[in-house]
Chain A
Amino acid sequence: MSTDRDFVSVDDHVQEPPDLWTSRLSWSRFGDRVPHLERDADGAERWVVDGRPLLGGKVAAAGALMPDRNREPRCWEEVPAAAYTPGERLKAMDAAGISHSVLFPTVAGMAGEAFGRLDDPELETACVRAYNDWLLEEWASASPRFIPQCIVPIWPPEAAAAEMQRAVAKGHRGIAFPALPMHLRDVPHVSDPEYDPVWSACEEMGVPVSLHAGASTELLYPAFSGLAPALSEAVDAVTRPMSSVYVLSLLSFSRVLLRHPRLRLVFAESALSWAMLYMEWADHQFEHDGLAREGYELKPSEMFQRQCYLTAWFDEIAPFVGYLGEDHILWSTNLPLTTSTWPRTRETVERCFRGVTDGTREKILRSNAAGLYGIEPAAQ
């Protein structure tokens, strides 16, 4: 039951079950290249596709639901049901005040990037389609509180556009896109005109594109290998949102946002408190480098204000909302990742929204997301 204290989380993750791909892809065609779990001699399980590890060789990412948050499941039996069962997930959402949850994958990559690394576009597309169909059949059909987002094959653009159009026609409400596909395999730079058909398709369908942090290892600064896992993951959790700065900078200065004025970009797991500085700096640099003379009709902060959204989950809102704009901030829980505020999300919301007006709070917690994802106010 949703209450007026509840909120839309625009960034949560589903855990794909072991039979998702093995039951949907042709074994005779792909054999054991299909994503599946393998068990090591010591009993630990890990995901494998085409002979390569998925999800960093883990079985799941569900720290927030585990008895000890610093210990991820080692095998499927240890994965908490709320990670992969819609019914159990709804209970977890109720416990934390989440009315609706916009869904990202886990095994397929936090940003849907994993299959883009495959060398075989045929296998890539088959894996992507299976995920997109499964999410609608198993999650979206279970409750209108789940907002499904499709993943896409990264190349060629016709294939990406076709799969997005197919998935959106079937019920997907957003697109999870790995922001820098050229980091996944040898495809053109995302700012090159070759990618314009992908952005144009998104504009025409009117669905938002989510660029989740962490899709490109090139944007990350890995921790010292001698650190304990909990410390190493804490380093990753703080550095990972910086991906959003690089991506926002690239898509602004390389004019993707200018060429596609109706494109709406959600920076999932972006955090918030860096953004004011970055945008002030981008504008300052824009001015000192004389870029107004180089044919930009908007400066970087104006491109952001027209087309972009940041997602907060632990950030105080009041210091930043005036500059960034109440229409461009969304709320999230990152369930079930360890960095999630679950199960104490309500307390976090109260702390983070201190000093924020009711109207602004309503926008950030509910109506901005409702507008983006077409969530009906009555949907419970």
Chain B
Amino acid sequence: MNPWPWYVSGPLIALVMFALLFVGKQFGMSSNLRTACSIGGAGKASDFFDFDWKKERWNLIVVLGAIIGGFVSANYLSDNTVNINPDVVIKLESYGINSAGESYLPTEIFGDESLSDPKILAVLLIGGFLVGFGSRYAGGCTSGHAISGLSNLQLPSLIAVIGFFIGGLIMINFIYPLIF
């Protein structure tokens, strides 16, 4: 039930990427969001979504698998707690997040009762919005750029990953103190 260490997890992620390359596909999760928009009829609003989404069906099946993998892991393979650096735990407590070490996601943000808090609702919605907008603007997310692109030594992916970290550092250092 222990979490897998980084030196097991990282190589297994590389294995996922190579498995997809081997079957003639590529590792990239955020493009599924575009496909989902296309299925929902967004092609009428923008030609960006006007494509034959059935060619992307394989990736939706990967996503379905990931959903099943999440279900199996949370119910049968994990005690659903995450132990992080004690100094970071103290920092989080100063933000009123006290569930570190007790849960997989902070209950203060992801607990069902938090959904009645407009601020938390906005955090989830805007966080998701920026992930969706940013990944499509950058042409990829963590899987497409940080893993696939950097593995293929693509300079654009390095620029994107530097962008990921600039954005993340701005968020937790300058915006978190304003929100929490």
User: Are A and B associated in one complex?
Assistant: no
Q: Which B residues are within 8 Å of any A CB, using their own CB?
A: none
Q: Which A residues are within 8 Å of any B CB, using their own CB?
A: none
